[in-house]
């Protein structure tokens, strides 16, 4: 009898403790893990929303870069983190391509995470070192075909958006070239600027400044429409490669098992951050925009993730590039 009473009391206090944790969340700084190097596009988007999200939640948000294996290293770590709402993951389209690209993955994107909301869909730009000969996309295609044994493409590892975009480009022109993987396209951009590597496909959030300053060559944007911030850059369709299109969607995740009340709080803070005028303005300067409020929800994100996994599976299988 006494034992049963004790058990009840212990269960009650556990429940009360967890209810208390949900009600008072957050009581300490929150970490958002970025699966690529600092200074790159995923990092940029995360840091832009971290401040208004933190303001909304009344706690500081710390951004931590855990780069490696095309973003899968960080995703694997966050999947196993304590589901208390203090460790989150910002990831992009790579979350939907990794299950097909990687033969063995230590996480399942649809099982091991609670989706919190979509964030933005960023266009890609095809750029090259300033002194690479070709000036148009047609010339670039001819150049790459003629120099396929020496030309070098930079990416952020298998599973990165830059890898996927390069794979689509090489498929579209039926020519494979040497690729060099970096921990993110921030460091890859440094090597494009110094002429170490020849060309790269990367989010406009990482390339707009260098394009506008004339520090890199730009051939096309991978979207159906031209970008407001780079109106002179043709679309891939205008430039003659309509099959080469991709947008890099981003979403915020918590480990599975995170309490629904905490998921709801974080999601609401994400929605608030995407309405922040400074975020909207900076996104526009970088060629993107926040998703609509109904897309920045756990449900919309969950559905979109499953749809994207199904969409990319046959495309990647056809391309035949896999990693262990």
Residue ranges that bind ligand ASP, judged by CB under 6 A: 36-37, 40-43, 94, 155-156, 160-162, 184-186, 202-203
Contact 157, 70 (CB under 8 A): yes
Beta bridge partners of 284: none
Question: Angle formed by the axes of helices 41-57 and 204-212, to 10°?
Answer: 120
Radius of gyration of the chain (CA): 21
Residues 281 and 278: their CA atoms lie apart, in Å, by 5
By C-beta, is 21 or 319 nearer to ligand ASP? 319
Shortest distance, CB of residue 21 to ligand ASP, whole angstroms? Answer: 32
Q: Least separation, in Å, of the C-beta of 296 and ligand ASP?
A: 20
Q: Least CB distance from residue 138 to ligand ASP, whole Å?
A: 25
Tokens 């999200």 correspond to 53
Nearest approach, Cβ of residue 163 and ligand ASP (Å)? 6
Give the nearest distance from C-beta 74 to ligand ASP in angstroms: 11
Is residue 219 classed exposed, middle or buried when 0-12, 13-18 and 19+ CB atoms within 10 A define those classes?
Answer: buried
Residue 175 backbone phi and psi in degrees, to 5: -145, 130
Q: Taking Cα atoms as reference points, which of 29, 107, 30 lies closest to residue 71? A: 107
Residue 137's SS3 state is helix
Alpha-carbon distances, residue 114 vs 201, 245, 297, 309 (angstroms): 30, 29, 11, 16
For residue 131, give both structure tokens.
């002194």
State the nearest-atom distance from the C-beta of 92 to ligand ASP, in Å.
6
CA atoms of 54 and 75, how far apart (whole Å): 22
Q: Coil, strand, or helix at residue 316?
A: helix
**Residue 4 parent element (H or E):** helix 2-24
Q: How far is the CB of 12 from ligand ASP (least distance, A)?
A: 46
Smallest gap from residue 38 Cβ to ligand ASP (A)? 9
CB-nearer residue toward ligand ASP: 166 or 290? 166
Question: Within 13 Å and on the Cβ side, how many CA atoms surround 304?
Answer: 24
């Amino acid at each position: 009898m006494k034992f049963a009473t004790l058990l009840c009391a212990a269960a009650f206090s556990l429940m009360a403790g967890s209810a208390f944790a949900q009600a008072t969340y957050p009581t300490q700084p929150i970490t958002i893990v970025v699966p690529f190097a600092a200074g790159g596009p995923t990092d940029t988007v995360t840091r832009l929303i971290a401040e208004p999200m933190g303001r909304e939640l009344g706690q500081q948000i710390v951004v931590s870069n855990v780069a490696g294996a095309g973003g899968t290293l960080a995703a694997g770590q966050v999947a196993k983190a304590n589901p208390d709402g203090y460790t989150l993951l910002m990831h992009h389209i790579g979350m939907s391509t990794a299950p097909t690209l990687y033969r063995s993955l230590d996480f399942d994107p649809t099982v091991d995470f609670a989706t919190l909301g979509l964030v933005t869909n960023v266009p890609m730009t095809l750029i090259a070192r300033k002194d690479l000969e070709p000036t148009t996309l047609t010339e670039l295609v001819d150049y790459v075909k003629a120099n396929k044994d020496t030309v070098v493409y930079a990416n952020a590892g298998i599973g990165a958006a830059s890898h996927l975009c390069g794979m689509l480009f090489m498929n579209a022109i039926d020519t494979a070239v040497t690729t060099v993987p970096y921990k993110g396209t921030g460091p890859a951009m440094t090597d494009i600027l110094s002429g170490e590597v020849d060309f790269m496909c990367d989010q406009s959030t990482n390339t707009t400044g260098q394009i506008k300053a004339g520090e890199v060559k730009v051939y096309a944007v991978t979207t159906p429409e031209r970008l407001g911030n780079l109106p002179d850059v043709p679309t891939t369709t205008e430039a003659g490669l309509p099959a080469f299109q991709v947008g890099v969607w981003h979403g915020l995740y918590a480990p599975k098992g995170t309490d629904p009340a905490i998921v709801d709080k974080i999601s609401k803070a994400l929605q608030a951050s995407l309405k922040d005028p400074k975020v909207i303005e900076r996104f526009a300067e970088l060629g993107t925009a926040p998703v609509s409020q109904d897309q920045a929800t756990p449900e919309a994100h969950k559905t979109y993730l499953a749809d994207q996994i199904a969409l990319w599976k046959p495309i990647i299988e056809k391309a035949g590039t896999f990693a262990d």
